[in-house]
Structures are given as structure tokens and as C-alpha cells.
Structure 1
Amino acid sequence: MAELKKGTWVVVADSEKVLFLRNMTDHENPNLDVFDEDEQDNPSDEEQSANRPGRMKDNGVGQKSAYQDTDWHELAKDRFAADLADKLYAEAHKGSFDKLIIVASPQVLGVLRDEMHKEVSDKVIAEVPKTLTNHPVNEIEDLVKKELDAA
């Protein structure tokens, strides 16, 4: 069973926002302190697209088909998770944390697993596949403790 020991970092992320918390007490009575946060300004794909999708000629006379346009909104979400993996690597390399718990939506967890450096993944003691970025810190404390106790 993983424990939420003093000094453990808890990173709570979705595809547009991340909270960095540090446990100030112990597992029995966790007290998470938000020491940093980051939020991405990610407008809808429609607002980010420059123009209409390109067209190509089809086999039929006078027929054209549209190319599928890039979904800039989704790309930005994936990039946000990859940037988070880079930031965690920089902090791990500096020795900022020994233990890490990641609480993130399943999509973000997947990208983080793919992008996370071994130096960071070796410090991960638990993953919680939930989106809690907009929850109050006391609820995050309770949910993380409950998840760790159940594991």
C-alpha cells in the first residue's frame, strides 16, 4: 500500500490545468498545500483554425472531398500533458521530490505515461485516474487517501 508521507508531491491535472500540492503532515491526516499551479488558455478548435479544410478532386466528375483538418484544441491538450512531463522531469532532476502521486484524467495519464522520463516514473507511488482539478483541496485530500487505502 502506498502512503501519503510528509513531503510527497501530489500532482492533480486535467488537459488544461495542473495543481502541484505537497503533503505537510502524514498519511493518517493528510494536509495538502498548493504550492504551484498552471493553466493553459486553450480556445475551441474553431477559434484556433485558420481557415476551411483543404479540398481534393474525387474520382467523379466535378466532385471534391474535404481533407480532415487538424484539431488544434486536442493537440494543445496533449501538448499540455507532455509539457507537464517535462516540468516533472526538471523538478525530479533537481531533487525537489522523492515520492509522487499523480491524479489525472485517464487521457492525461496516458500521455504522461508515454512522455514521463524514467527518473520521474521511478518516483511515482500511485496513480489516481480521476479529474479533480476543480475540487476543493480538502476533498482532494480525502479522495487521494481513500484511493491509497483501497489499493
Structure 2
Amino acid sequence: MNLRIPHNAWVVVCDARKAIFLRNEGNATLANLRVEQVREAAANPPSAEQGADRPGRIQNAVAPTSAIEGTDWHELAERQFAHDTVAALKLANRAVNPRSIVLVAPPRMLAMLRQHLDEELRSRILAEVDKDLTKHPIQEIERLLRAA
């Protein structure tokens, strides 16, 4: 498949820690992506530093004591970053009003992003690419998206 990204379309490349908002200054056959905005998640220390308590217990009337699953602080931070990324995309959508948006993220992050998209943004999604490209240079992202 050859992904064709229209002129002035937005490409959002993100993972659980970083989101890069790109705009295609080229045309559909030859993308020329330019960085519009970069967002990074706040520092997320190890779980031991965030919550020191052991998971709680429930005493059942007729069964043995049950444990309660502990809080996964890193998953909460990822969900919050997905929410913040979509909020930034909504602001950009109101300001710039791109006709098309391409989401590029690992499968787990794509699922989290989808949960926060409203109908207006969903209607503008041209493609979703399930790859982690945040650590690649822009030229490499262009090349990999052409091949996607």
C-alpha cells in the first residue's frame, strides 16, 4: 500500500511519552513533513516512588481473603498523555482546520487515542499506521509512511 498524504494534512506521530505534530507542505505523491509542535509527557518516576503501599485486601464472608490489584501508575500516565495529545489535536483542528489527519502510533497507543477522539476528528482521520516512529528523523518518517 502506498499512503498518499494530501497537501496541508496533519500527521501525528506519537508513543506513550512523545507526540510530534507534522504538517505536509508537499503534495500527495511526495510528502514534505514539517514539525508544527512537539509535546512530551511529564516525568514518570518508578512505581516504587509513586505508590509505596501494598495492594489492599478484601475479606470475603464465605471465601478466603482476596487481593485488590495495585494501581499501574505508568498506564495511568499513558492514558493521560493520550488524552492530552487528543486535546492538543482538537485545538490545532480548530485553529488550522486540516482536511486530513494521519495517526501514527504503536497499536496500544492508537487504541488509547481512539477513545478520546470526537466525531469531528474521526471524520478527518485519513489513515492510522500502527508503528512507533517517534525516534526516527523526519526524512525517515516520510519514507516509512510512503511505504505504509
TM-score of the two chains, using structure 1 as the length reference: 0.84
| Structure 1 position 51 matched with structure 2 position 58 | no
Q: Would the alpha carbon gap of residues 29 and 95 (structure 1) be closer, same or farther in structure 2, given more than 3 Å must change?
A: closer
Aligned residues: 145
Corresponding position of 1:14: 15
Corresponding position of 1:111: 112
Alignment of structure 1 residues 84-99 onto 2, 5 Å: 84-99=85-100
3-state DSSP of counterpart to 2:97: coil
Q: Deviations over 1:19-39 (max 9, x none)?
A: 011111112221111121111
Letter in 2 for 1:18: A
Corresponding position of 2:121: 120
3-state DSSP of counterpart to 2:120: helix
* C-alpha RMSD over aligned residues: 2.1
Corresponding position of 1:131: 132
TM-score of the two chains, using structure 2 as the length reference: 0.86
Cα distance in 1 for residues equivalent to 2:57 and 2:90 = 42
Q: Would the alpha carbon gap of residues 144 and 2 (structure 1) be closer, same or farther in structure 2, given more than 3 Å must change?
A: closer
Structure 2 unaligned segments of length 5 or more: list them: none
Per the TM alignment, residue 108 of structure 1 is displaced from its structure 2 partner at its CA by 1.0
Whether the 8 Å CA contact 1:93–1:119 is kept in 2: the answer is no
Whether the 8 Å CA contact 1:85–1:117 is kept in 2: the answer is no
Q: Structure 1 residues 120-129 or 36-45, which shifts more?
A: 36-45
Whether the 8 Å CA contact 2:20–2:37 is kept in 1: the answer is yes
Structure 1 unaligned segments of length 5 or more: list them: none
Corresponding position of 2:143: 142
Cα distance in 1 for residues equivalent to 2:96 and 2:139 = 27
3-state DSSP of counterpart to 1:130: coil
3-state DSSP of counterpart to 2:103: strand
3-state DSSP of counterpart to 1:122: helix
Alignment of structure 1 residues 34-73 onto 2, 5 Å: 34-40=35-41, 41-57=43-59, 66-73=67-74
3-state DSSP of counterpart to 2:111: helix
Per the TM alignment, residue 45 of structure 1 is displaced from its structure 2 partner at its CA by 2.2
